[in-house]
Amino acid sequence: MANHKATKKDVRQAAKRRERNRYAGKTTRNAIRDFKAVTDANAAGGQLPEVASMIDKLAKKGVIHKNKAANLKSKLAKKVNALAK
């Protein structure tokens, strides 16, 4: 366990950040899951910006890699385009 005051604070901060990141990641994964379940093109088109925004925020914070974010958004856009046909 940490012995220095600053190290103890760092442990507390890391735990807080980890909890926040886990919550944001889980919320985004659930949003992606719900998005993939949609079969209506109009509904999917309306949800895409919201889900893409959540993914971008995770990448900006460093929770996920920027390339992973791009790949996720690409797959979701492909789904919307496939539903539109």
Q: What is the pLDDT of residue 14?
A: 97
75 vs 80: CA distance, rounded Å:
9
Q: What would the mean pLDDT of 2-15 be, rounded to a whole number?
A: 93
Q: What would the mean pLDDT of 64-69 be, rounded to a whole number?
A: 98
CA 11 to chain centre: 24
Q: What is the pLDDT of residue 3?
A: 87
Q: What is the pLDDT of residue 47?
A: 95
Cβ atoms within 10 Å, residue 75:
11
Q: What is the pLDDT of residue 2?
A: 75
**pLDDT tens readout for residues 11-65:** 999 999 999 999 999 999 999 999 999 999 999 999 999 999 999 999 999 999 9
